[in-house]
Amino acid sequence: MNFILKFIIVFIIFFSCKKNVYNTKMLQSNYLTQKEIKPEQKTAVSFKDSIKVFHVYYDSIAFNKTERITAINKRLHTHFLEYQFNKGSNELRNLKNIKELSKSRGFLNTLTKDFKNKSFKEVSSIHYSYLEPLNDKYSSRISIEEWYFKDKQKAKYCFESLKKYEEAIIHFKTINWIWIYQDNKIFLVFALDHQVLSKEMQHIKQEIINEIKHSGTYDSVQFYE
């Protein structure tokens, strides 16, 4: 009887030790697995930190397959962040108003009147983003837009009008505009607090040029009031 009791006790002790070893190995395995997936988690965070691109299409047939804003944003991401509209309820209303204004061609209609050129209404799609300098999180937003025209001549005609800005009466309180033209596209960079000659605005302008210069000739004009 004593022998059987001793055997049972030894068996229980052996089984408990084996279970503890197994649990220890499982914990070690989980820890190593967590260490291994850290780079993937970091990549996901980096993706969330990317600069969002908004889209508005006026012509469903003329889809812009050569959109460059996303690539330009990648160039800018080391010095700029996506502008956060959730800084206050007024900012969220601003974003909603901006989207509605884009859909209704509000800005394009004003340019049409000011420059007396109906070609501004011929924009087929606009891709746009809002940025803020990386080291100045309290700065107002800087907008970057890419206008796509189905008709190349319309794009050129609009840009030629913009180059004659001194002859136009422009109905905007603040004008800090950089325009870059190439083929059937016009890029626009503008801000309320950053003048066109500021390092931030010029940095964005240069990165747009760096992105498109290999695709052919381009032209630019900038002005402010």
Q: What confidence tens digit (pLDDT) does each residue in 146-200 have?
A: 999 999 999 999 999 999 999 999 988 889 999 999 999 999 999 988 999 999 9
Going from the C-alpha of 139 to that of each of 55, 116, 193, the distances in angstroms are 24, 34, 8
Strand-pair partners of 82: 131
Mean pLDDT for all residues in the chain: 79
Under a CB-based contact definition with an 8 Å cutoff, are residues 129 and 148 in contact? no
Is pLDDT at 84 greater than 60 in this prediction?
yes
- Rounded Cα gap, residues 188 and 223, in angstroms: 12
Q: How high is the pLDDT of residue 87?
A: 58
Residues 175, 221: Cα–Cα separation, whole Å: 13
Q: What count of residues does the chain have? A: 225
User: Residue 183 is encoded by which pair of tokens?
Assistant: 């083929």
Which residues touch 191 (CB under 8 Å, ≥6 apart)?
140, 141, 142, 143, 176, 200, 201
Predicted TM-score (pTM) of this structure: 0.74
Q: How confident is the model at residue 219 (pLDDT cuts 50, 70, 90)?
A: very high
36, 54, 156, 171: which is closest to 112 by C-alpha?
171
Share of the chain above pLDDT 90, in %: 54
Is the pLDDT score of 33 beyond 80?
Answer: no
- Residues 70-80 have a mean pLDDT of 94
